[in-house]
Amino acid sequence: VYASTRLKGDGITIFRVGNKGTLTRVGAQLTGKHPRNFAITPNGNFLLVACRDDNSIQVYSRDKNTGLLKNTHQDIVLSHPVCVKFYPE
């Protein structure tokens, strides 16, 4: 499970869901300013984050086993992105 944090400590927090539904924090990934929205690519390999105040969508590779993220440094630059959606194939 992923959750974005804005304004103080901008980033994505990563949680694991336990057998009884409990959440355990397993990591965090700093992002650009004001991560407004994020989405996992349909193949599950990447997580894209709309960083509104950095004027970019940041692309992170995603470990499918741990959920941990790694910055690919292949940002998509555009003015004030607020949402990431994928069109179904």
Neighbouring-strand partners of residue 69: 62
For residues 42 and 70, give the distance between their C-alpha atoms in angstroms, rounded to a whole number: 18
The answer on pLDDT for 54 being more than 80 is yes
Q: How many CB atoms lie within 10 A of CB 50?
A: 25
Tell me if 88 is assigned to some domain: no
pLDDT of 9:
84
pLDDT of 89:
73
Tell me if 85 is assigned to some domain: no
What residues contact residue 20 under an 8 Å CB cut-off, 6+ apart? none
- Cβ pair 11, 5 in contact under 8 A: yes
Tell me if 22 is assigned to some domain: yes
Tell me if 86 is assigned to some domain: no
Tell me if 20 is assigned to some domain: yes
Q: pTM above the 0.75 mark?
A: yes
For residues 32 and 49, give the distance between their C-alpha atoms in angstroms, rounded to a whole number: 9
State pLDDT tens for residues 26-47: 999 999 999 999 999 999 999 9
For residues 47 and 58, give the distance between their C-alpha atoms in angstroms, rounded to a whole number: 8
State pLDDT tens for residues 56-71: 999 999 999 999 999 9
For residue 55, the enclosing domain spans: 2-77
For residues 13 and 17, give the distance between their C-alpha atoms in angstroms, rounded to a whole number: 13
pLDDT of 88:
79
Tell me if 84 is assigned to some domain: no
Number of domains in the chain: 1
